[in-house]
Structure 1
Amino acid sequence: MGLDRRDALTGIAFAAAAAAITGPAKAAEAGGLRHQVFFWLKRPGNAEDRAKLVAGLKTLAAVPQVRALHVGVPAGTEQRDVVDSSFDVSELMLFDTIADQKTYQEHPAHLAFVKTCSPLWRKVVVYDTVPA
């Protein structure tokens, strides 16, 4: 089974975002592992909590193993049965390898982020994928 339209569009959009965030050279070498995380705040809709979480996530770009980072909020696109916009904040990271992602998990910046920001969220869902 090949890529469907949604997968293709997602890949194109992410490649463009990665290039914008990290520059074309880093975007080209990145992508061995995609780490996607969705956060639901304890106080949904609280702008201050959302801003704190977004700021905390952006600090993770300093971790050397992170090849690209996109921090986002629900886009407000058309609501359809297949669209889940119930989360408050998301992040998408690219790592070259699974080992790099493991190193990131243990990095002091990531541990500090979890300690500082975990009181803000009530739920976190992680999707780690590699190219098929």
Structure 2
Amino acid sequence: MHIHTVFFWLWKTTGPEQIRQFETGLDLLTRDPNVLERQIGKPATTSRAVIDNSYDYGVVLKFSDLASHDAYQAGEAHQLFLETCANLWSKVQVYDIENDA
């Protein structure tokens, strides 16, 4: 199992129309046929010193293996998302996990 976790910080000047564009882009992106499970959300309201909730959106995607993840990365949906939405974020951070489950 390959778990792909991505956090996005949008530009502070991002308006409602651009946010809708970003949310639509995330929805389409995460419906790629290589994705087994998907979670999209905003930071939880938890508050502890070890929690970073400074991001605007987080995405967690599960793939059967690294090859499926790599196919997703090269796929049309991912490329379209980058072309249409990359200008909306000031920072992106990715954490990938390999799991034997």
Structure 1 position 98 matched with structure 2 position 66: yes
Deviation at 1:129, TM superposition (A): 0.3
More strand by share: 2
Which amino acid in 2 is paired with 1:71?
I
Q: What SS does the corresponding residue of 1:54 show, helix, strand or coil?
A: helix
- Higher relative contact order structure (alpha carbons within 8 Å, sequence separation ≥ 6): 2
TM-score w.r.t. the length of structure 2 is 0.89
- Number of matched pairs: 100
Shift of 1:76: 1.5
Q: TM-score, normalised by structure 1?
A: 0.69
Partner of 2:3: 34
Post-superposition offset of 1:96: 0.3
Alpha-carbon distance in structure 1 between the residues aligned to 2:21 and 2:3: 23
Q: Is the 8 A contact 2:14 2:88 kept in 1?
A: no
Matched position secondary structure for 1:40: strand
Residue pair 2:8, 2:89 contacting (<8 A) in 1 also: yes
Determine which of 65, 84, 109 is the counterpart of 2:77: 109
Identity %: 37
List gaps (5 residues or longer) in structure 2.
Answer: none
Q: Which has the higher helix share?
A: 1
Distance 1:116 1:68 in 2: 23
Say which is worse superposed, 38-47 or 49-58, in terms of deviation.
38-47
**Aligned-CA RMSD value:** 1.7
Contact map agreement 1:44 1:88 (CA 8 A) in 2 = no
Q: Which residue of 2 aligns with 1:20?
A: none
Aligned residue number for residue 23 of structure 2: 54
Amino acid of the structure 2 residue aligned with 1:129: I
92 and 44 in structure 1: CA distance in 2 versus 1, 3 angstrom threshold: farther
- Of 46-55 and 60-69, deviating more is 46-55
Q: Which runs of 5+ in 1 are unaligned?
A: 1-31
1:74 and 2:80 equivalent?
Answer: no
Q: Structure 2 CA distance, aligned partners of 1:105 and 1:66?
A: 11
